[in-house]
Amino acid sequence: MGKYIIKGGKPLHGSVTVSGAKNAAVAIIPAAILVEGICRIENIPGISDVKLILEILEKMGAAVKYVDETTVDVDCTPMTITTTPGALCRKMRASYYILGALLGRFRRAQVDLPGGCNFGGARPIDQHIKGFEALGADVKVEYGMVSAKADELIGTEIYLDVVSVGATINIILAACKAKGTTVIENAAREPHIVDLANFLNSMGADIRGAGTNVIKVKGVEHLYGGTYSIIPDQIEAGTYMAAAAICGGDVLIKNVIPKHLDSISAKLTETGVVCEEYDDSVIVRRDGPLSAVNFKTQPYPGFPTDMQPQMSTLLCIAKGTSIVTENVYDNRFKYTSELAKMGADITVDNKTAVIKGVESLTGATVHASDLRAGAALVLAGLAAKGTTVVEDIYHIERGYESIVAKLTALGADIEKVEDEPETDVRPAKGAV
């Protein structure tokens, strides 16, 4: 599984290039199921979640071929299997996009209930199911699987009870080849939803309004292969911005869409950090103390929940008391008990964390319970006095490409070591 050993206290200087967006890639790759012909997908991030979703499609009959490190050809034309390979699917959340795409193409699908980040609270998929049913599918959840089938899918109006990224994407996928027009109201507006819609439109779909809360999908008969480049990862960029802010120094973050980072830049600026935006890069600089701020997570364009652990970690060493409200998930503060081991002063009550800034954090052995929690602990380790060991880093490698190399290039002291095999420390029989 491996762990990171971090010797903290070094400012960061230099530049880092952001990879393609994880959450766009894991939606666009299964969307290729709807396409006849080869989808050449560029700017693919080198992370384990992407490798996994490609492996799942391959096992279902797709032809997958890497052209270079960041470009992959996916051809789902030969695919006939409409049931996912269970064990692999249960490892990641986004495997549920296969459901919408299979339903859209074959009018039937059977997909294992998704895994992925476990924050401690429930992550229901009732809105996905409601959308599929509204389109005319018969949906059942049994034996750990979701099955959906329909004689035909017919466009309709669907109002989402909660703003859900996954449900918005899944309904778009199922509606792409439905008869007539589907209108999704109270849709999520995240950049990767726009990216998915752009991908599908470039292959022949007719999707309008992505990026607003009303999305209209006019069904088409066929989608044809083509080439598409994935947007840069908003959260990876935000994580390096937070890294520069917590460590101090001066970092140029390249290959970003600054507009996607507005809520993060604005909040960092309030803490006393300088964020300068350029066309496709941002510079983050800090040479003075950090100030406490309050923030609430919201669906896009609000402050992203996927930056909440990293931002909260920064506030652990800001002067004063900060209040963080998590509005997207019921429970996403599990990681704070790990930060407490490093000297953080955080009190959590339901959806709110009260963070009293301390002078500095100190190194400890901590455990990454999910992807962003893991990223937050890496940031804590970079800023802490002494040595931090972050365990269970497979969570981090699901979503951050070459994080050790990228941070090392910025001057951080971080290395990955593989876990040693467990040794039996009991004395051998007969030994004294």
Query: According to the binding rule CB under 6 A, does residue 165 interact with ligand EPU?
Result: yes
DSSP H or E segment with residue 158: strand 157-159
Residue least distant from ligand EPU (Cβ): 166
In this chain, which of 6, 25, 26, 414 binds ligand EPU, going by CB under 6 A? 26
Site for ligand EPU in 300-339 (CB under 6 A): 305-306, 328-329
Looking at the chain, how many residues does it have? 432
The contact mask relative to ligand EPU for 72-101 (x = CB under 6 A, - = no) is ---------------------xx-------
Q: Which two tokens stand for residue 273?
A: 């950090």
As beta bridge partners, residue 274 has: 285
In this chain, which of 123, 140, 208, 259 binds ligand EPU, going by CB under 6 A? 123
Give CA separation, 38 vs 54, 62, 92, in Å: 14, 10, 24
Q: Which two tokens stand for residue 221?
A: 């008969």
Using left for φ > 0, alpha for ψ between -120 and 50, and beta otherwise, residue 107 falls in left
> Least separation, in Å, of the C-beta of 308 and ligand EPU?
9
* Residue of 2, 45, 7, 18 lying closest to 411 (CA atoms): 7
> Least separation, in Å, of the C-beta of 29 and ligand EPU?
11
- DSSP codes of every residue in 409-430: HTT-EEEEEPPPPP---SPPTT
Query: Near ligand EPU by CB under 6 A, which window of 60-68, 101-109, 119-127, 315-323?
Result: 119-127
Query: Near ligand EPU by CB under 6 A, which window of 118-126, 314-322, 333-341, 388-396?
Result: 118-126
In this chain, which of 43, 84, 95, 164 binds ligand EPU, going by CB under 6 A? 164
> Least separation, in Å, of the C-beta of 15 and ligand EPU?
24
The contact mask relative to ligand EPU for 401-420 (x = CB under 6 A, - = no) is --------------------
Q: What angle do CA 352, 263, 370 make, to 5 degrees?
A: 55
Phi, psi of 381 (to 5 degrees): -65, -40
Q: Which two tokens stand for residue 392?
A: 């269970």
DSSP H or E segment with residue 345: strand 345-349
**Between residues 8 and 310, which has the closer beta carbon with respect to ligand EPU?**
310
Q: Please check whether residue 297 is in contact with residue 325, taking contact to mean a CB–CB distance below 8 angstroms.
A: yes
Q: How many CA atoms lie within 13 A of 15 on its CB side?
A: 9
In this chain, which of 100, 166, 249, 363 binds ligand EPU, going by CB under 6 A? 166
In this chain, which of 371, 373, 384, 390 binds ligand EPU, going by CB under 6 A? 371
Burial bucket for residue 417 (CB in 10 Å: 0-12, 13-18, 19+): exposed
The reply to whether 247 belongs to the active site is no
> Which amino acid, residue 355?
I
Site for ligand EPU in 206-265 (CB under 6 A): none
**Between residues 363 and 399, which has the closer beta carbon with respect to ligand EPU?**
399
In this chain, which of 50, 102, 167, 316 binds ligand EPU, going by CB under 6 A? 167
Candidate list 39, 117, 176, 316, residue with the active-site label: 117
Q: Which two tokens stand for residue 44?
A: 């693919």
**Between residues 10 and 372, which has the closer beta carbon with respect to ligand EPU?**
372
> Least separation, in Å, of the C-beta of 278 and ligand EPU?
25
Q: What angle do CA 397, 398, 399 make, to 5 degrees?
A: 90
Sign of the Cα pseudo-torsion (383, 385, 387, 389, in order): negative
In this chain, which of 19, 23, 271, 313 binds ligand EPU, going by CB under 6 A? 23
> Least separation, in Å, of the C-beta of 113 and ligand EPU?
12
Residues at the site binding ligand EPU, with contacts judged by CB under 6 A: 23, 26, 93-94, 117, 123-128, 162, 164-167, 188, 305-306, 328-329, 371-372, 399
- Residues labelled catalytic: 117
